[in-house]
Copies of this chain bind each other. A is one copy, B any other.
């Protein structure tokens, strides 16, 4: 049983109640708020030393990433983050100054986005630092794009540039909270997801939830400079495009919107966010599967994020 099968098995038997609008399986859970037109969002995520950051990473950036990952999920629901609680599991002989700097990074990001940090738990995890953050947010109930609403013919957009995040972006990204809310306030976003496991893998999640396929236009995919560098340096080397499709940890937004909205959306975006790139990278198809179109024709993706070029 692999990780995905285990998670699927665990998710199937979870208890629910009348408060749940959408449970496990989207970027955040969506819950009744008791207020008409408003829903609550709940999310948890964790970073572990040696897995999500190296032991030599700057502590401020570790704290930034720990909170930032949850904020990116709230962004993908077009939500507003309200309050976070933090489990800090500290290794033996931790340095108090190091821990204070982790919090300094987390606090700075929280302040920029109006998030309160309202408590936490400090425990021991002798071999390595682990930080788990849980976040409460809110969203306009009819403006909360799930992964499951993408429709045949929708245009697919992605914010920013993709690939090579491990060169630095994964510790420094600014969650696309303002962008996510603006999109949902001004356009009928059918589906949205944040990119944490690579464009190919996360698009596949949206496809599965929405029971659709997708076609990506190779030359439209915004490949970052870091992806180009990383592709050359990797062992085995990837093409820059493959790096952009599969590197992961981009923390950008991928969304689907009706084709007729694509041009007005792109125009309005440029006025609203002149410094954030937005790319229309392809479309949703009724036919299942993920296809990449380049100068040589259409090629199938296989697997869950790794690209086999024809």
Q: Contact between A45 and B130 (Cβ–Cβ < 8 Å)?
A: no
Are A134 and B85 interface neighbours, CB within 8 A?
yes
Copies of this chain = 2
Binary B-proximity of A28-61 (CB < 8 A = 1, otherwise 0): 1101011100101011111010111000000000
**A17 contact from B48, B50, B51, B82, Cβ within 8 A:** B82
**Contacts A14-B117, A116-B14 known; A20 to B83 CB distance under 8 Å?**
yes
- Our pick among B10, B100, B118, B124 for the contact of A48 (Cβ within 8 Å) is B124
Contact with B along A80-103 (1 / 0, CB 8 A): 001101110100000010011001
- Residues in B with CB closer than 8 Å to A87 are 44-46, 87, 132
The residues of B that contact A9 with a CB separation of less than 8 Å are 96, 100
State whether the Cβ of A19 lies closer than 8 Å to any Cβ in chain B: yes
> Which positions 85-138 of chain A face chain B at CB distance < 8 Å?
85-87, 89, 96, 99-100, 103-104, 107, 110-111, 114-128, 130, 132, 134, 136, 138
Q: Are B31 and A33 in contact (CB-based, < 8 A)?
A: no
A296 at interface by CB-CB < 8 Å: no
CB atoms of B121 and A19 under 8 A apart: no
A185 to B118, CA, bound (A): 26
Determine the chain B residues whose CB is within 8 A of the CB of A29 once the complex forms. 83, 85, 118-119
Q: A201 to chain B: closest CB distance in Å? A: 15
Interface size on A, residues (CB 8 A): 68
- Of A10, A48, A96, most buried by chain B (CB within 10 Å of CB) is A10
Query: Which among B6, B51, B52, B116 is the interface contact of A16 at CB below 8 angstroms?
Result: B116
B46 touches A96 (CB 8 A): no
> A25 on the interface (CB 8 Å rule)?
yes
| Residue contact B119 to A24, C-beta cutoff 8 Å | yes
Q: For residue A103, which residues in chain B have a CB less than 8 angstroms away from its CB? A: 10, 13-14
Given the known A-B contacts A48-B125, A130-B125, are A10 and B100 also in contact in the complex, defined by CB atoms under 8 Å? yes
Indicate whether A85 sits within 8 Å of B44 (C-beta atoms), given known contacts A9-B100, A119-B23: yes
The answer to whether A295 has its CB under 8 Å from any CB of chain B is: no
Q: Is there contact, CB below 8 Å, between B6 and A51?
A: no
Do the beta carbons of A31 and B136 come within 8 Å of each other?
A: yes
Residues of B within 8 A of A123 (CB): 46, 48, 51-52
Contact of A99 among B6, B25, B114 (CB under 8 A): B6
For A86, what are the chain B residues with a Cβ–Cβ distance below 8 Å? 44
- By the criterion CB–CB under 8 Å, are B116 and A19 in contact? yes
* A residues at B contact (CB < 8 Å): 1, 3, 6-7, 9-10, 13-17, 19-20, 23-26, 28-29, 31, 33-35, 38, 40, 42-46, 48, 50-52, 82-83, 85-87, 89, 96, 99-100, 103-104, 107, 110-111, 114-128, 130, 132, 134, 136, 138
The 7 closest A-B pairs by CB, nearest first: A134-B134, A29-B118, A132-B132, A44-B85, A24-B119, A87-B132, A127-B127
